[in-house]
Structure 1
């Protein structure tokens, strides 16, 4: 019979119940049930929407250290074939938040049973994938009362082997924004195009024009990405489409580039509206601030890692991924790091299958780091 590490088992159970942002009711209940098994006098719990704040009392605290994990899943149909695959149709922990939670519970359990000097605040944050839980959680009355002086978090990285931690000072993750564009023209019979305003054609022109923003409006020494991941329009093959919708994302390495990209999108859409005689509405949806690692705590963490046996420290480049933990780092000194999990399939892929050996490794690294702060 397979001898499964207890927090690997927890990961597998959480993996089966992925829920979308602010719908993490089963997940919150699972976390609370687990916390009930620990000595209650050692910590306090405060609920926030579908998330949790858990404050573990220090022995003689002079400050509070924050550790954040995200808890939501993605609207993806899982294709891993694992025996513990998602039980929720069209939902999957395809970004590793099941890993993040099990690691956080492992660290919390260690700190409860091996008290440290400082108060440790564990933040179980909903809605990281959207619409964004970090910023409103940061602004909550609970966080105003329990505001850490230092905060950190991790994110799994499929491209690195287990035992690797990738990190850098400064910019780690990009500024991100969702992008939704709705076009409305005039539908009609496919045989009479001159009597219509075809939004499939308008959408096609718009997609190609959006790509010119990166090549002709952004400094080549800066970086930005516009991706249109989904287009919908029309009803059947012989009716000209009256409406079309584009859904995508914007990623930039600087706030200034984000502002420039949006200015150009709006200018191009005005041109599309005029040339195709249609209405166009833009919605930027969720916008995430860049993840910027503060120099001093990041250096301290790197120095700790370099002294720890069995850890491969890699100073990585910045990435175009987005993470709303950036809002917390905007207000509180700290850092985020990549945790190697050696999966052949990447983040947000229906076959993402991280190596579970990374869970025990991460619990050990994070627990020891907190203990020596």
Structure 2
């Protein structure tokens, strides 16, 4: 087997077409979070056809865990490769011949691409199974879009003995053959909020008889913007967006209640905590100033994706060895529940260039399928080299213990 124009080794024309076929099948039959039954069955079928064992010790309602490689002993290293498998409630507008066949559902974030790529890595690793110095655990995770799938995987114990976990997301603005690798914060913590302001209703012609929640809500939207501009250093970052306001039923009635929804995005846990504290103070203060009663509810999302520096360094070396263009990407304010894994074990998350015309969650979203064999080869090579690195580290530690 030769190398393509990007130096990616081990991809025959048959494997390339197989990955395209897999991705297009998944694209035609998208399933929403925790509804991925057909997707799970298809993944299982692909793995079993390749002779890859399903890890039945870690049962999931949707999604599954598989393994490649036989551990030599109880201390042999285990690493994990993760792909998310769910779609979005979006009506596709791509005009593709393999567009979604399910009305109102679409793989508008590229999870079909992620799944096909990690299946490709699995096929390559199965061919090299005898070379592996440990076990590669394949995590096909449900419900990433609702930020609850990673917790479901963790509850099974699938990562209890795993040394490190690796994942990725397609990046439309990066060219094919380019990989974004960054140590530290790569994606944001994504929290939601709901604020209910309760006042007193009245006829609109007699405002003095009311406690107007709309006026309070209007001042609150403006006051919340001062958190970032006056409490966060210009060298740090946070985003507060009020995205929905609901109040009132008639043009001539001051309503009793106003409800505001929105999101908070941060890249640092300290900043996250500081903003939430200040946010609470302002909500209560503005509500009190206008005589309304405030109820604030937080919808806690994933923490920031925070890449382990050693894993990022190793990934960069693998990418360069494959002839890929390595860049340090701009951090994304989008959230990713891969971050929950990184709270438990070291983890690395990459951005892989897919040269798309549209951003994530757009009804016209698509990827360049030339990135499929690149992604599959990268993660296969990374898995092999990381298992070797961890095996050597284990032997060195054992040798040191024997000498002492």
Q: TM-score, normalised by structure 2?
A: 0.84
Name whichever of 229-238 and 347-356 sits farther off.
229-238
Q: Is the 8 A contact 1:186 1:197 kept in 2?
A: yes
Answer with 1 or 2: which has the greater Rg. Answer: 2
SS at match of 2:299: coil
Taking the TM superposition and a 5 Å limit, the aligned residue runs for 1:132-143 are 132-143=148-159
CA distance change for structure 1 residues 140 and 213 in 2, over 3 Å: closer, same or farther? same
Which residue of the partner structure matches residue 285 of structure 2? 271
Taking the TM superposition and a 5 Å limit, the aligned residue runs for 1:36-47 are 36-39=48-51, 42-45=53-56, 46-47=58-59
Aligned-pair CA distance for 1:236: 4.0
Q: 1:130 pairs with 115, 132, 146, which one? A: 146
Q: 1:228 pairs with 238, 242, 255, which one? A: 242
Tell me if 1:320 matches 2:336. Answer: no
Aligned-pair CA distance for 1:277: 2.9
Name stretches of at least 5 consecutive residues in structure 1 with no aligned partner. none
CA distance, structure 2, for counterparts of residue 270 and residue 113 of structure 1: 61
Aligned-pair CA distance for 1:351: 1.6
Name whichever of 182-191 and 75-84 sits farther off.
182-191
Which residue of the partner structure matches residue 390 of structure 2? none
Q: Is the 8 A contact 2:23 2:115 kept in 1?
A: yes
CA distance, structure 2, for counterparts of residue 173 and residue 349 of structure 1: 19
CA distance, structure 2, for counterparts of residue 167 and residue 83 of structure 1: 33
Tell me if 1:121 matches 2:132. Answer: no
Q: 2:182 pairs with 155, 158, 168, which one? A: 168
Taking the TM superposition and a 5 Å limit, the aligned residue runs for 1:210-249 are 210-249=224-263
CA distance change for structure 1 residues 360 and 77 in 2, over 3 Å: closer, same or farther? same
Name stretches of at least 5 consecutive residues in structure 2 with no aligned partner. 1-13, 387-404
SS at match of 1:104: helix
Q: 1:369 pairs with 382, 387, 404, which one? A: 382
Aligned-pair CA distance for 1:273: 2.1
Q: Is the 8 A contact 2:124 2:377 kept in 1?
A: no
Tell me if 1:33 matches 2:18. Answer: no
Aligned-pair CA distance for 1:23: 2.6
Q: How many residues get paired?
A: 367
Q: Is the 8 A contact 2:185 2:331 kept in 1?
A: yes
CA distance change for structure 1 residues 277 and 368 in 2, over 3 Å: closer, same or farther? same
Q: 1:53 pairs with 65, 71, 75, which one? A: 65
CA distance, structure 2, for counterparts of residue 306 and residue 319 of structure 1: 23
Q: 1:347 pairs with 360, 375, 392, which one? A: 360
Q: TM-score, normalised by structure 1?
A: 0.90
Q: Is the 8 A contact 2:60 2:152 kept in 1?
A: no
SS at match of 1:287: coil
Aligned-pair CA distance for 1:251: 1.2
Taking the TM superposition and a 5 Å limit, the aligned residue runs for 1:69-88 are 69-88=83-102
Aligned-pair CA distance for 1:153: 0.5
Which residue of the partner structure matches residue 273 of structure 2? 259
